[in-house]
Amino acid sequence: MALQEQPRTPLSTNVEIENAAIEFVIEQERLEKRTARDTRHQGAVADVESDDRIIEVKAAGTTSRGFEVWLEPNQYEAAKAQPDHFWLYLVENVRQGDPSKFRLLRFGGDRLTALLSKAKERRHFSLPLPVAVYDEVVAEWGATGG
pLDDT tens for each residue of 12-51 = 888 999 999 999 999 999 999 999 999 999 999 999 999 9
Q: What angle do CA 115, 55, 19 make, to 5 degrees?
A: 115
pLDDT of residue 7: 62
In a structure prediction context, what are the per-residue pLDDT tens digits for the chain, which is 146 residues long?
455 555 678 988 889 999 999 999 999 999 999 999 999 999 999 999 999 999 999 999 999 888 899 999 999 999 999 999 999 999 999 999 999 999 999 999 999 999 999 999 988 777 788 888 888 888 887 655 55
pLDDT of residue 69: 92
| Prediction pTM value | 0.81
pLDDT of residue 60: 94
CA distance 56 to 33: 19
pLDDT of residue 1: 46
pLDDT of residue 9: 86
